[in-house]
Structure 1
Amino acid sequence: MFVDIFQRVAFLIAVSLLGWYVGKKFKISSKDISTLLIYIFSPIVSFVLILDSPANVGYVGYSVLFYVVSCIAAVLALWVGQRIWKDNRANLFAAAGGQGNVGYFVLPLAIGLLHGKEGGAAAIGIIVFCKVASTIYEFTMAFYLTARSLYSVRKSLIMVAKMPTLHATILALIVKYFGFHLPEFLSSGLNGFTGGYSILGMMVIGLSLARYEKLIPDWKFTAYSIIWKQGLYTLVIISLFTYFFNLNYAEKIVLVMLASNPLAGNIAAVAAALDVHPEKAAFAIMVSTILALVTVPLTLAFVF
């Protein structure tokens, strides 16, 4: 397990470093790439993931539960953040505090570890729908909390309502419910966006860091974000759901992976798109991802 996690983390870091290199060499804007991710790649990937999922629409319950838990965690993080910072770092802390890196970390890790195993298909199916909830969270609640540091409630809500990921998810659920299927040429073509989405998402981290000639890390923001997400969040979520819910084996695996994963990569995209401390978000995500080498295997070993 450690080798598999190490390889995946190393690859994610390498992609981020590649983003930093091309950002320095070609002066590519992280904000432009983030706009592509938010308005093009994210809705298409959410649509494809739902249609291709082996699970049925009944799994939507997992999406709803994960989304609600993420929103509650984000609101609590905002309350804590406003007592630590008096600027919009509190909003960024809240956006990052709702959930972790489901799409670029948990989903490929689950497929690698659980494919073909007993209960593996069910666990992967749950994670797919949690990934959909994760994407919706990032471009609704997380986007709203970050935007609120710059705009009014009304304007922030209007911006969220225009997020195409929300519309694409609703459309995909309707299509799946009625059993419609896309033509083969269209399905295979859209699947190509999935790989690009993961790569661009991690490259945004490096591109955000490349904007600055001399990067001064915000260790306070990084430390608090990691303590919240990979410490308190993990402990509270696993304890609550283990105590109050009668989880089967597949659900317990999903719970541990979703609770102990690193900071979400797409928070860097949201921060870059809104220009709210993107370098602080990118640096914290990079450190958090490296720490996942230790936190994820230890949490899995402890629970099981």
Structure 2
Amino acid sequence: MTAYEIMPRVAYLIAVSMLGWYTTRKFKVNSQDIAKLLIYIFSPIVCFVLILNSPANINYAMYSVVFYVVSCIAAFLAYLVGRLLWKDNRANLFGAAGGQGNVGYFVLPLAIGLLGGTPDGAAAISIVVFAKVASSIYEFTAAYYITARGRYSIKNSLIMVLKMPTLHAAILALILKYFHFELPDVIKSSVDGFVGGYSTLGMMIIGMSLARFDKLIPDWKFAIASILWKQGLYALVIIAIFRLFNLNHYEYVVMVMLACNPLAANIAAVASALDVHPEKAAFAIMLSTILAVVTVPLTIWLAM
């Protein structure tokens, strides 16, 4: 994997983000309304569809459990580090961003493009699908809770999390998949539009968050600390752990991609919905995505 293979993907993500910036500037679109659409409508539907349509069996759900637990531990440690760096709710945002990366918009299409049609590639892609499920649940449960605690009490934050439909959608989908339920073809083809819309809106929300402010002052300390945590320390620890497992070549490549991917775009949606420094989250995510042109292929090359 080279920078030339990743560059078109990164360029597309940045272009979509800039489209969100232009849309907000031109038509005065409210980024918080778009964030709520992503959280309450698109995310649960996409999570539900990904689980049901996955070619893997229910046993792969263990990957979701492992990645969710790892994400929560990483987020808690990042929050503790954030408390040492900041005395305001940037520490909460740092913790939420430090638990998981951009699995859905970055790793999944990249894995499909690089591993699709290859021997054992389908199994590796299935791992990414269930990691994406864990990522969606993490973003709208643990990450949402940590971010909400920057403004709300424990009770109110927990109530907000319990109302998150993504968790309910994932549980329902796992139950249906266990009983080998399949969506009718007419519904399956219809909901595919939500998957594409989810990816597009998820990246547009970054530009929308940046466009909310007439004069954007980048928080370089927050951005650099977040990137060093997620694409540096986090990646090194995850890669070191999975080197101990007996993984085939394709599975190992996927694990490395999941470890070193850029900051999760949906953190911008969470920050925007809760109004917890959305511009700082968006700037850090944008910078992280640009740097992924270099950091992702370099990390994979070193790990292999």
> What's the TM-score, normalizing by structure 2?
0.98
Tell me, yes or no, if structure 1 residue 206 matches structure 2 residue 216.
Answer: no
1:187 to partner: Cα distance: 1.2
Paired with 1:216 and 1:119, the residues of 2 have a C-alpha distance of: 47
Moved more, 36-45 or 186-195: 186-195
1:25-51 deviations in whole A, cap 9, x for unaligned?
111111000000000000000001011
Equivalent-residue separation in structure 1 for 2:122 and 2:30 (angstroms):
39
Deviation of 1:302 (Å): 1.3
Q: Distance in 2 between matches of 1:258 and 1:58?
A: 19
Q: Give the whole-Å Cα distance in 2 for the aligned partners of 1:277 and 1:89.
A: 7
> What does residue 119 of structure 1 align with?
120
The unaligned stretches of length 5 or more in structure 2 are none
**1:14 lines up with 2:15 in the alignment:** yes
Instruction: Tell me which residue corresponds to 1:273.
Output: 273
Amino acid corresponding to residue 181 of structure 2 in structure 1? F
In the TM superposition, residue 246 of structure 1 has moved relative to its aligned partner by 2.3
Q: CA deviation at 1:269?
A: 0.2
DSSP 3-state at the match of 1:16: helix
> Which shifted more, 230-239 or 175-184?
175-184
Which runs of structure 2 are paired with 1:55-134 in the superposition (5 Å)?
55-134=56-135
CA positional deviation for 1:3: 2.1
Q: Deviations over 1:141-172 (max 9, x none)?
A: 00000001111111111110110000000111
Moved more, 184-193 or 35-44: 184-193
In 1, the alpha carbon distance for the partners of 2:7 and 2:183 equals: 36
Partner of 1:174: 175
TM-score by length of 1: 0.98
Q: Deviations over 1:65-114 (max 9, x none)?
A: 00000000000000000000000000000000001000000000000000
Q: Stretches of 4+ moved more than 6 A in 1?
A: none
Q: Give, in whole Å, the separation in 2 of the partners of 1:13 and 1:106.
A: 15
Output the CA distance in 2 between the equivalents of 1:202 and 1:177: 32
Give the aligned length: 303
Deviations 1:211-243 (A, max 9, x none): 011100000000100000011111111112213
Question: Could you tell me which residue of structure 2 aligns to residue 250 of structure 1?
Answer: 250
Determine the C-alpha separation between the residues in 2 that align with 1:237 and 1:26: 42
Corresponding residue SS for 2:61? helix
Give the aligned partner of residue 159 of structure 2: 158
Q: What is the alpha-carbon distance in structure 1 between the residues aligned to residue 110 and residue 211 of structure 2?
A: 28
CA distance in structure 2 between the aligned counterparts of 1:215 and 1:111, rounded to whole angstroms? 36
Matched, 1:42 2:58: no
Aligned partners of 1:253, 1:54: CA distance in 2, in Å? 19
CA–CA distance in structure 2, aligned partners of residues 188 and 86 of structure 1? 48
Per the alignment, residue 4 of structure 1 pairs with 5
Between the aligned partners of 1:302 and 1:55, the Cα distance in structure 2 is 29
1:187 aligns with 2:180: no
Deviation, 1:249, is: 2.0
2:64 and 2:230 map into 1 onto residues whose CA distance is: 19
Partner Cα distance (1:215, 1:150) in 2: 22
Is 1:217 the equivalent of 2:223?
no
